[in-house]
Structure 1
Amino acid sequence: MMGMAVAQDSGQQPKAQPKPTNPLLYACLKPGDTQSVVVACTTAIESRQLQGEALAAALFRRGLMQSQRAEMPAAANDLSAALKLTPKATDVLYARATLYSAMKRYDLAIADYDTLLTLVPGDPDSLYQRAWSRAALGRDALAVEDLTALLAQAKGDVDALMDRGGLYLRLGKFLEAAADFGTIAKQDPKAAAAFYNRGRAMFLKGDLAAAAKDFQQAETQRTDNPYASLRRYLALGLAPKGKADAKILTDIIAKIPPEKWPMPVLATLAGQMPEKDLLSATEVSNKNVARRLEAEAHYYLGEAALLRKDTKAARDHFAAAAKADRSLPEAVDAGWRLKQIQ
């Protein structure tokens, strides 16, 4: 965590740290379960015996425990009170920014990360987390700037490269996305996700032959990945003078359990299930899961429609898929495909 020093092994026994002079604060700060810590800190805070940094420490500690107990508003209040007493405390700022992000108050989280980055310029944790918050608000270009600044310090950071590549896909910068995923693939030739996502980038760019090779490489590294098989089937079928190879679908169908998603998608594209049954299969009780499944179904039905040269049906399916949350790859891809065929 930010602000935490890394101890060096000097070969000597560490000196015992002095206990806080106030026994109430000591009881608040000592290890314990969340309930006992909250009680101890509340006693210390309400005693009116603590002031300044000591009071801030008790508020910070109680706020952390409350956040672990999912008592988000109470935690935010305590962390904010601690910051009024110690406005430059980076550990408190980072904790509140993280809490705001968990509460989906991304605007407030960004404000805290802004402050952190004035106190600790270039801090990689703050850059990475601010990028996530900016992306959550659709500020993809600004999120890319944060990840680019982070990567200037750590060129091979896989998480940053993967996330920046995903943002480049959302922005329609397919070559830049492919370059980021390609960097990961060079670092780790077994990184199936890198090949899969570079395949998506090349597919959207229109280089279907390169896309098919990447999807095949992703399949090689993850033999149980049905999505790579789906995408390779489509890339080969949609290529100029290409032909969809149904064996790709039947091979993966034989490898995965019949109840596993996306089996209905595979079965529909293989001609074993009607489209209406596929769409019915997306109607599950969990609404978030249902939206994801529906977006995936419509995206792949859209590509399948293009295989049949039914542009109108493809347009309708892509439009339906593109309405989903843009954190979903199929929603992103559907949006660009819709633009490409209009």
Structure 2
Amino acid sequence: MENKRKNIWKNATLSCAPMMDWTDRHCRYLHRLLSGQALLYTEMVTAPALVRGGALHLLDYSPAEHPVALQLGGSDPQELAQAARLGADAGYDEINLNCGCPSDRVQSGTFGAVLMKDPVRVAECVAAMRKAVDVEVTVKCRIGVDEQNPEEVLPKFLNDIQAAGCRRVTIHARKAWLQGLSPKENRDIPPLDYDLVHRMKFAFPDMHISINGGVNSLEQARTHLDAGLDGVMIGRAAYHQPTDILAEADSLIFGTGQVADPVEVVQKMVPYVERHLADGGRLHQITRHMLGLFAGRPGARAWRRALSEGAVHDGAGPEVMLQALECVAPMAEV
């Protein structure tokens, strides 16, 4: 356990945020081709869906995705423990508890960001999950919600989950406003407080603390790491500009590996696409995650158009991707 934890702590130096409707298994497979080191996260899977609903298909993933973490949503310690066990049995490298999502649906289930108001319950959940599995249990949270004073509530929250055995946490450096702001607005409007997250690292030196929110480049990530944080989690930028964030990550962040070529990545996706189609899947289920591969590069708009228009046709196969590649300028011309 200790060696595995040390390995995944290194992978967590850079991670891709869990994002509903985005970071599904096809997205993660693509991201893994771009970076062999970054830690990947599933979309949030609710504990009730797994335990009461029996939706075990939500745990499907490719072994190529490792290291990969399962993010769970829930607030019942025993139910979360059962869901965590299902995730660990499925082979996930980490189980993460969502304490940051502000959506109405999540609030109605009494989990997500609303749990920032009940750190004792979060600690109980963490303790129950840790007892149930051998893999590491981590938490993703906000700096606070609504009228809470982050300077007061965040240290208490971290102290409580640390006492329950949580050794690694990712902090979205914004408050969540549970009333008055949509989930989308909650990703942009509340101001970022990076300094507070950095101070938490000083206050909790034994915890592995990653920062999340507003990081759009590896240069920004490097700034946070150089200032003492243990990790950086990137969300929308990693999805919309995956090559910019992930292709050089192994070299610039981890000091290992080569820079991935997005053209080669597309070619490596062909066998994956063929297997998905053979299993009854549709091309667009995969290619919708590939639209930003050439963001900022000549031909990127034509690539997106060719891929998005061609992938939805009945019988569309990998030839759509390969034809769309003809729209993109070779690397030597960039």
TM-score by length of 2: 0.31
| Higher relative contact order, chain-length normalized (CA < 8 Å, sep 6+) | 2
TM-score by length of 1: 0.30
Q: Which has the larger radius of gyration?
A: 1
